[in-house]
Amino acid sequence: MGIGVVAHDGQDGTPSSPKAGQTEGVDVASYQAKVAWSTLWSSGVKWSYSKASEGTYYTNPYFSSQSSGARDVGMIRGAYHFATPDTTGGAKQADYFVDHGGGWSDDGSTLPGVLDIEWNPYGDDCYGKSASSMVSWVRDFLNRYKSRTGRDAVIYTSTSWWNSCTGGYSGFGSTNPLWVAKYASTVGSLPPGWSTYTMWQYTSTGPTVGDHDRFNGSTDRLKALANG
């Protein structure tokens, strides 16, 4: 997650210390492979997301072990899907995500799935889509995900990408939690439609696992999100 954040938004420090009432987390993909979950837990990390899928052509071979490893040390965990809107439709990618680990379980320790929609590492920043077409693609993904799982997916993005590629669309803020990417000492401005963030990816150079995040609430609120 956040492959284009530094290139497009820069990296301007990190928060000096955890804010009271926030909860530390990490996000991982196949590139982290085997993760030292017990080390992360001991350092104060209480939640995690693992990449499950990308497009309709890729699944993370380490997803199951990463997810179970996080759960086994006590973390609340979830799955994310890296969107490629230029390859297949939003509903089809939501189905692929749910069918390959991105579903939701009412077990008290599974967070709702995440749509990772950000700078395109393979070509055109906005995947060759107009703002209105991008909004339609995102809506199709979110609607299908909810119909399959009963949960509203979290949207992971950066404010700059969102403004550039959706035209600053403001229609998802009342339903879908925001996970904002900003590598700086403060979260900065949020995409239109959201007055607050649920999660913040604040660095790609953190300890043990590079991508570190903060949930904007206590562990009790984190559990409430998992419980729906």
Catalytic residue among 27, 95, 152, 213: 27
Nearest-CA neighbor of 104 among 86, 81, 122, 124? 81
Our answer to whether residue 24 is catalytic in this structure is no
Our answer to whether residue 54 is catalytic in this structure is no
Amino acid letter at 65?
A: S
List alpha helices for the chain, DSSP H: 5-9, 37-42, 63-72, 90-97, 131-149, 159-166, 219-227
Cα–Cα dist 90/19, whole Å: 36
Strands (E), the chain: 23-28, 47-54, 58-59, 76-82, 114-116, 154-157, 178-181, 199-203, 212-215
Catalytic residue among 9, 95, 116, 152: 116
Which CA distances in Å does 190 have to 105, 161, 164, 167, 199? 29, 11, 13, 14, 12
Our answer to whether residue 106 is catalytic in this structure is no
Catalytic residue among 118, 152, 211, 213: 118
Cα–Cα dist 211/80, whole Å: 14
Q: Which residues contact 62 (CB under 8 A, 6 or more apart)?
A: 30, 32, 33, 34, 50
CB 218 within 8 A of CB 24: no
- Which residues are designated catalytic? 27, 116, 118
